[in-house]
Each structure stands twice: as structure tokens, then as C-alpha cells.
């Protein structure tokens, strides 16, 4: 798998850990008047619960003008499990956000803050 990686880096790759990454996109109802109320009053509490329960490791809001609203990393290898969590999000249920689920790898000890 890592046939082109310099030998001195191979020991660092032993600790690669699989995660599930989500790209949260602005959905068809994102620009509606009620969207901000749902995002703040329902979506954020839902996201904080996922974080508090250890399911979501990172939630990163995107501030640029783009259709991407946020990127999240979940503490699982199961895309099906993440899909279930996302389908329970009130903002997804109401079409404010859509999502794409991707598999990824992270290195042990990676942090943002």
C-alpha cells in the first residue's frame, strides 16, 4: 500500500486510523427565512449532542461563499452509522442541509486546538 513512501516515514503510518468524513452542503431550503432558526435552535443542539456523546470528533463551519456549509469527522468507520446520525439531524430532515459521506484516514495525535 505504501510502496513509494520513504522508509523513515513508514513507522509514522502505522498509527493511521480510519474515520468517516462528512461534507455538509447547503440544501434547497438553506436560504429560507426559517433556516437560521432551525440551524441555531435544532441543528446546533443535535450536533453538540453528537460531540458530547463522542460520535463527532470535529465540526468545522465553512465561512467562504460556497455551497459547502461544514465539514465533520466522525469517530467511526461505518458510513451507515453516520448516515443514520445525519438523517436524524433536523436541518437535514428539513432540507436546509444535504451531505456527502466519505471514508478517510487520520494520523494518531492530529489535533486542531
How does pLDDT run across 2-47, given as a tens digit for each residue?
889 999 988 888 888 899 999 999 999 999 999 999 999 999 999 9
Look up the pTM and report it: 0.86
Coil, helix or strand for 7? helix
> pLDDT at residue 65 above 80?
yes
Q: Which residues, in sequence order, are CB contacts of 100 under 8 Å at separation 6+?
A: 22, 23, 25
Q: What is the mean pLDDT of the chain?
A: 93
Predicted local distance difference test score (pLDDT) of residue 109: 74
Q: Which CATH class is domain 15-106?
A: alpha beta
What is the domain partition of the chain in residue ranges?
15-106
Coil, helix or strand for 15? coil
What φ, ψ does residue 64 adopt, rounded to 5°?
-75, 165
pLDDT, tens only, 67-108: 999 999 999 999 999 999 999 999 999 999 999 999 999 887
Q: Which residues, in sequence order, are CB contacts of 22 under 8 Å at separation 6+?
A: 71, 72, 73, 74, 82, 86, 99, 100, 101, 102
Amino acid at each position: 500500500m505504501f510502496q513509494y513512501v520513504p522508509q523513515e516515514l513508514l513507522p509514522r503510518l502505522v498509527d493511521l486510523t480510519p474515520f468517516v468524513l462528512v461534507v455538509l452542503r447547503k440544501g434547497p431550503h438553506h436560504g429560507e427565512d426559517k433556516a437560521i432558526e432551525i440551524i441555531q435552535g435544532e441543528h446546533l443542539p443535535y450536533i453538540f449532542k453528537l460531540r458530547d456523546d463522542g460520535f463527532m470528533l470535529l465540526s468545522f463551519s465553512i465561512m467562504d461563499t460556497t455551497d459547502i456549509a461544514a465539514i465533520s469527522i466522525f469517530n467511526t468507520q461505518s458510513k451507515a452509522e453516520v448516515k443514520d446520525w445525519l438523517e436524524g439531524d433536523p436541518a437535514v430532515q428539513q432540507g436546509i442541509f444535504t451531505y456527502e459521506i466519505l471514508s478517510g484516514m487520520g494520523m494518531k495525535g492530529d489535533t486542531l486546538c
